[in-house]
Amino acid sequence: MSNAAADADLVRMCRDGDMAAWRALYDRYAPSVHRFTASLGVPVEEREDAAQDIFIAVFRSLRHFRGEAQLSTWIYRIAARHAIRMGRRRRTRELMRLVMLKESNHLLVDPSERSTQVATLDRMLAKLPAKKRTVLVLFEIEGLSAKEISDVVGCPENTVWSRLHHARAEMVRVARRMVP
């Protein structure tokens, strides 16, 4: 059975109120959502809340899912919007802390992410503007095609390629500055 057909069955069962189907949908997409939000800069202490909010949004709006895009693409779209919104709120909070001369919040470190390579990558990704970062993460980490990315971010395929090109170039520039 193809993924699309299997997803269609899963969506139908979820709409019928099948609890096991909801759980199967969650099990199938929770790892991707976790990875995606992490790559979009959601800090470890906010990731559980982010996943929770994203899946609640998925479950509540599943009845509006028309099946025109893939289920995975639709979930990525919800996750991207949510992660970007969280990023804006986080930056506002940081700004407020600076304005009020408070100490910057100490970020927790996820023991599973003690890899220097990932931490370095996150620092590089943080230098990219949100739109370019989203495209780069979807293409290079999530493995989506340009067409799928255009569905997720809501822009033409040409724009996806253009953002990817600029994001890659910017990543290399940032990395060169980091290497002694």
Partner 1 sequence: MTWLESPQSEAEKLIRDGLDQAAKRTGDEITHRRVWANIAEATELTPPRSYRLLAFASATLVVLLGAAGVFAYPHLRGKATSQLALVNHSTQAPSPVAIVPPAEAVPASPLPEQVVLDEAERAPGHVVRTGVGERARVALGGGAEAELDENSAITWDKQHRPAVEQGSARLSVPHQPPGWRFSVTAGPYVVTVVGTKFEVRVASRTVGVEVTEGVVEVWRGSHSTRLVAGDAWHGPLSPDDASTAQPAPKQSKAHSTAPRAKIQTDQHLLDAQAALQAGNVNKALDILNRAAQGNGPAAENAAYELGRITRYDLNHPRQAVALWEKYRTRFPSGLLRTETDLSIVETLSHVGEVHAALAEAEAFLARHPDSERRGEVQRLAERLRATEAASDAK
Cβ-based nearer residue to partner 1, 1 or 99: 1
Stretch that binds partner 1, among 72-80, 91-99, 147-155, 169-177 (CB under 8 A): 169-177
Which residue of 78, 141, 146, 155 would you call a contact of partner 1, by CB under 8 A?
Answer: 141
Rg (the chain; Cα; Å):
18
Closest CA to 138 of 55, 70, 37, 50: 37
Cβ-based nearer residue to partner 1, 4 or 172: 172
Please check whether residue 154 is in contact with residue 123, taking contact to mean a CB–CB distance below 8 angstroms: no
Instruction: Locate 106 and state its tokens.
Output: 């100490």
Report the distance separating Cα 89 and Cα 86, nearest Å: 5
- Residues 47 to 76 in contact with partner 1, rule: CB under 8 A: 47-48, 51-52, 55-56, 59-60
Please check whether residue 58 is in contact with residue 78, taking contact to mean a CB–CB distance below 8 angstroms: yes
- Residues 9 to 38 in contact with partner 1, rule: CB under 8 A: 9, 12-13, 16-24, 26-32, 34-35, 38
Closest CA to 28 of 14, 38, 45: 14
Residue ranges that bind partner 1, judged by CB under 8 A: 6, 9, 12-13, 16-24, 26-32, 34-35, 38-39, 47-48, 51-52, 55-56, 59-60, 106, 108, 111-113, 115, 117-118, 120-122, 124, 140-141, 143, 168, 171-172, 175-176, 178-179
